[in-house]
Structure 1
Amino acid sequence: MTESITQANQALNPFLHELGVEFLEMENGQARLALDLSERHMNSWQITHGGVLMTMLDVVMAMAGRSLSAELKGVVTLEMKTTFLQPGGVPGGRIEARGKAFHQSTTMCFCEGEIWNGERLVAKAMGTFKYLRRLKSGENMKKLYGSD
């Protein structure tokens, strides 16, 4: 994805903008995000806060599910389970979230997500997402990704 797509996504979601999330890919049931870690992303042990990791997992899975919808419908998270495998990273590092939609119905999609710190798998999640009727944000995403 280009820098302008990252900026447009951040404009649609001020929380992700505040975190500094970089949007890398969203197509064919897959999505990727990245984050350059800084002090603001750390917990009291100076490792990446679990809430930051869960936010990235939630978003990357939702993006993967949305990419299967011709209209780029919105989705809401119905449930999500996360397993933390090891510390997420320290300031100055970079983590990547990878999402994949592995099943879709007319109203829901089922996804998995992973957080990677280099070659280390940090966290894994599974989520169920419900498609919503087209919302204003869906129209903005449609323009952003060039869908008809």
Structure 2
Amino acid sequence: MSEVVSGVSAIPNPFLEQIGIVSEEMHDGRARISLELQEQHMNSWQITHGGVLMTMLDVVMAMAGRSLHHDQKGVVTIEIKTSFLQPGGVIGGKLEAKAQAFHQSTTMCFCDGEIWSGDKLVAKAMGTYKYLKSLKSKASLQKMGGTD
């Protein structure tokens, strides 16, 4: 894994920066992120798009799993099961996602995640993540993705 500075992942992620997700905490199998909701996060009904919620859950659970292994470079998502319990919020609101790793093997970890809007539980998820050893080069990544 990359270094962890003040309990937060130091891995740069342009996609998450573009969305506006903020890493709040990452240590001992736990993680927490937040998002200030803006117009670009809304669907046609002007509530938080489900893809934003799924992204938050995937990220926070992966962070929880990564926090258990400082020698690992990261994790890849194997599967996620999500239940949407109520609308995720509107422009000007704030969402907080929390996760914990509840089981791990030498190659995989299993995590629970939740998204909260204030005191309202918006979504719950369970995810399976595979620990990823360091890839040697950009060429290795391209091979993995099936491109030349």
TM (normalized to structure 1)?
0.84
State the 1:109 CA deviation.
0.1
Structure-2 separation of matches of 1:87 and 1:109:
29
Any idea what the Cα deviations from partners look like across 1:79-122, whole Å, max 9, x if unmatched? Answer: 10000000000000000000100001000000010000000000
Indicate conservation of the 8 Å contact 2:42/2:49, yes or no: yes
C-alpha distance in structure 2 between counterparts of 1:135 and 1:13, whole Å: 17
Counterparts of 2:66 and 2:59, CA distance in 1? 10
What displacement does 1:72 show? Answer: 3.8
- Corresponding position: 1:28 with 2:28: yes
Higher share of residues assigned strand: 2
Unaligned 5+ segments in structure 1 are 137-148
1:77 deviates by: 0.4
Considering only CA atoms, is the larger Rg found in Structure 1 or Structure 2?
Answer: 2
Are 2:72 and 2:133, in contact at CA under 8 Å, matched by a contact in 1? no
1:135 shift after superposition: 4.1
If each structure's helix is expressed as a fraction of its own residues, which one has the higher value?
1
Is contact 1:57-1:125 (8 Å) kept? yes
The alignment covers a number of residue pairs equal to 132
Residues 48-59 of structure 1: matches in 2 within 5 Å? 48-59=48-59
Match of 2:40? 40
Matched AA of 2:111: C
Give the whole-Å Cα distance in 1 for the aligned partners of 2:88 and 2:112: 18
- Please give the alpha-carbon distance, in whole angstroms, between the structure 2 residues aligned to 1:36 and 1:72: 30
In structure 1, C-alpha distance between the alignment counterparts of 2:120 and 2:5, rounded to whole Å: 26
Task: Give the Cα–Cα distance (whole angstroms) in 2 for the partners of residues 109 and 73 of structure 1.
Answer: 14
- Offset at residue 74 of structure 1 (A): 1.0
| CA RMSD in angstroms, aligned pairs only | 1.9
- Give the corresponding residue for 2:113: 113
Q: Distance in 2 between matches of 1:69 and 1:15?
A: 23
TM-score by length of 2: 0.84
Partner Cα distance (2:117, 2:42) in 1 = 15
Is there any run of 5+ residues in structure 2 with no aligned partner, and where?
137-148
Whole-Å separation in 2 of the counterparts to 1:129 and 1:27? 17
Structure 1 residue 15 displacement after superposition:
0.7
Identical residues among aligned pairs (%)? 68
After the TM superposition, which residues 115-134 of structure 1 pair with which residues of structure 2 at under 5 Å, given as runs?
115-134=115-134
